[in-house]
Amino acid sequence: MAAATGAAVTVVRDATRDDIEPVAAMLARAFADEPFHQWLFPKPAGRAKRARRLFRCEVRNMLRDGVVLVSDDCACASLWGPPDKPQGGWWSQLVVFVTLVQILGSRTAAVLNELDEVGSMRPAEPHWYLSVLGTDPAQQGRGMASALLERALARCDQEQRGAWLETASSERTGFYRRFGFREKQRIQLDNGPPIIGMWRPSIPT
């Protein structure tokens, strides 16, 4: 599927297992300066390596349980949890837990407590959950994120399901508002940034 944004055309496709490594590496670059990941990995030394490992885990899990969309060159990717298990199945959640323990060590319990607070914002009704949307910093401004988002939201509307996301970047809320998302709640991380929860109801097709 090709989606046009201005003069650019982005080919959007479903990711495959061959895309796990390039997507994980790209997302680690995309989120290197993002407030949440700076909070999650406070020490600059090793941050990129830890982020790449976590993204590798998340991409693999969503390939199994959800939807991973990429631009054809893997310069942009989005990870979506489905309405029946927006956080992934029990096995995926176990894998994430083990990965976090290995990455964070003694900080794991405190981080998980904060993430539980973030999770409490999510709506009770079944919805699609946008867990990650990122673009390679060297490729930004080409409309790829918009193309991936449009593709996924079209499915949400077809299924008459709302969509939920969280962002730690106030600058990004304007981008998401263009697609119908609205801020619903904020939670302040301990010694970290505020996490903004945004909701988009389905739009009748």
Question: Is residue 123 situated within a structural domain?
Answer: yes
Burial level of 182, CB count in 10 A (0-12/13-18/19+)?
Answer: exposed
pLDDT of 4 > 60? The answer is no
Question: Is residue 117 situated within a structural domain?
Answer: yes
Q: Of 66, 61, 78, 64, whose CA–CA distance to 26 is shortest?
A: 78
Q: Check residue 91 and give its pLDDT.
A: 85
CA dist., res. 66 & res. 6, Å (int): 29
131: domain CATH number is 3.40.630.30
Q: Check residue 24 and give its pLDDT.
A: 98
Question: Which of 62-76, 92-106, 174-188 comes out lowest in average pLDDT?
Answer: 92-106
Q: Kindly report, residue by residue over 108-150, the tens digit of the pLDDT.
A: 999 999 999 999 999 999 999 999 999 999 999 999 999 999 9
Question: Is residue 145 situated within a structural domain?
Answer: yes
pLDDT of 1 > 70? The answer is no
Instruction: Identify each DSSP E strand in the chain by its residue range.
Output: 2-5, 8-14, 67-71, 76-81, 127-135, 162-167, 182-188, 194-200
Question: Is residue 119 situated within a structural domain?
Answer: yes
Burial level of 105, CB count in 10 A (0-12/13-18/19+)?
Answer: exposed
Q: Of 198, 172, 164, whose CA–CA distance to 184 is shortest?
A: 198
DSSP bridge pairs for 162: 127
> What average pLDDT score do residues 178-197 get?
95
Q: Which domain holds residue 137?
A: 2-200
* 3-state secondary structure at position 196: strand
* pTM of this structure: 0.91
Q: Kindly report, residue by residue over 15-69, the tens digit of the pLDDT.
A: 999 999 999 999 999 999 999 999 999 988 889 999 999 999 999 999 999 999 9
pLDDT of 86 > 80? The answer is no
Question: Is residue 205 situated within a structural domain?
Answer: no
Contact 134, 175 (CB under 8 A): no
Overall domain count for the chain: 1
- Owner of token pair 């119908």: 180
Q: Check residue 90 and give its pLDDT.
A: 79
